[in-house]
Every structure is written in structure tokens, then in C-alpha cells.
Amino acid sequence: MSSDRPAAGKKAGFAYGVRAALPLCVALVAFGASFGVLARANGFGVMAPIVMSLTTFTGASQFATVSILGDGGGLGAAVVAAILLASRYLPIGLSVAPVLRGSRAARFGQAQLVIDESWAVANRGDGTFDRGTLLGAGAVLYLSWQAGTVAGVFGGNFLGDPRDYGLDAAFPALFFVLLVSQLKSREGAVAALAGAGIALLLVPFTRAGVPIVAASLACFAGWWRR
């Protein structure tokens, strides 16, 4: 059974979560602004990107959806890609579920603040998590993402073409960084190479988004080798 008491020598609490996450907020505002600019440039209008950030709050999935639909891909491919990218929150959610309290509605609301960064900040290092730290970090990160999205949506027109600033490369760059961290193992390298091969073969013949979804099947190669 989990406990809300902080581990020895470990700071905890809502205020600590806010302070610990503040350095991450600068990057999150910039990243959210990039999403807002790209969404507006791809024809998503004003309200759609803002509502998506308010209800989804997972940058990778949001970038995937905007990029695929903006490039002419199908809705199905965009939804599947977004779900695959958000699937990491299943184990993350299970790990923090014991510290979320209250009614189902309250727990659902608290769960919206659980992202990679708030999870990492609240991790005590022994497999347990501090609820206050989790919620404090999640709250300030959530507000930062919304602020960035709004700034990007309304300020994008003043910037002109986002490609002039390299913002169109934000989505590929994000996944390149995620990929590099997985290449340290043989299984990860096999899966990455197989995924790249699948995508390259399908790009000339399929709609945008399909190669990304199909390339995810390469993860089974890494699993099989394991």
C-alpha cells in the first residue's frame, strides 16, 4: 500500500511540485506555442487546437494528429498514431493509481495532470509517488502548455510561415530524440531499423500517417528478440 509520507531526505508536497516543475515550463510553453502555430498553419482554426490541448494534453499525440491531417492523411491514421503514442500512459497511470484519491470524477481529473514530467518529479525512487508533488507539477505544466498553445494560435499569424523558423521539424525532432534513447540496446536498434524500413517502403504508395502506424509494428521485432 502506498503512503503520502515523503521518503527520508525527499522533499514533497504541492508547492514543491510546482517549484520543481518550473524549469520545465519554459520548454513546455515554447513547445506548446510550436503546436499552436503548426495547427493554425495547417488549417485547424483557433478553437480546435486550444480545445485539443485542454482535453488531450499530450504533446506527441497532438503533433502527430496535426502533422498527419495537415499532410492529407486520413482521420483513422491520425487517431491510431495518437493512441499509440499515448499508450505509454497506461503503465504510467497504473503506477500512480494508488495515490490518486476521491470519487471517480476526482480521480479522473487528477489523472489528467499525469504526464511524463510530473510522473518523474513525483517519483520517490522506490516505486512510490507523492500525490502532492504529482499534482503540483502537473498543474503548472498543464497551465504552461495551455499558455503556449494560446500564444501560438493567436501569434502565429504574426510569425508568417512556420517553416521559415523550422517549426515544421518539431514533430520529427521530437521522435528523433525519443529514438536515440532507445538505440542503446540491440532490441531497440533492431526495432528502429525495421520501423525505418517499413516506413520508407510505404511512403511512396500510401497516404500520410499510414507509414508511421505501420512502422510501429516493428516493435514486435524488438520484443521477439527479447
pLDDT digits (tens, 9 = 90+) for 208-223: 767 777 777 776 655 5
Q: What's the rounded Cα separation, in Å, for the pair 142 and 132? A: 15
| Residue whose C-alpha cell reads 504526464 in the numeric block | 115
- Judge if 32 and 125 occupy the same domain: yes
Dihedral angle at the C-alpha atoms of 183, 83, 167, 145, nearest 10 degrees? -110
| pLDDT for the residue 8 | 47
Does the pLDDT of residue 179 top 50, yes or no?
yes
Please tell me the pTM assigned to this model.
Answer: 0.76
175 lies in some domain: no
The CB-side HSE value for 125 (13 A sphere, CA atoms) comes to: 7
* Domain extent for 54: 14-168
Residue 17: pLDDT band (50, 70, 90) is very high
Pick from 134, 168, 202: which residue ends a domain?
168
Closest CA to 221 of 199, 188, 177: 188
Q: What's the rounded Cα separation, in Å, for the pair 197 and 27? A: 32
Mean pLDDT rounded to a whole number for the chain: 82
Question: Out of 16-20, 128-132, 178-182, which region has the weakest mean confidence (pLDDT)?
Answer: 178-182
Does the pLDDT of residue 61 top 60, yes or no?
yes
Residue 45, phi-psi category: left (phi > 0), alpha (psi -120 to 50), beta (remainder): left
Is 194 exposed, middle or buried, given 0-12, 13-18 or 19+ CB atoms closer than 10 A? middle
| pLDDT for the residue 2 | 46
- Judge if 120 and 55 occupy the same domain: yes
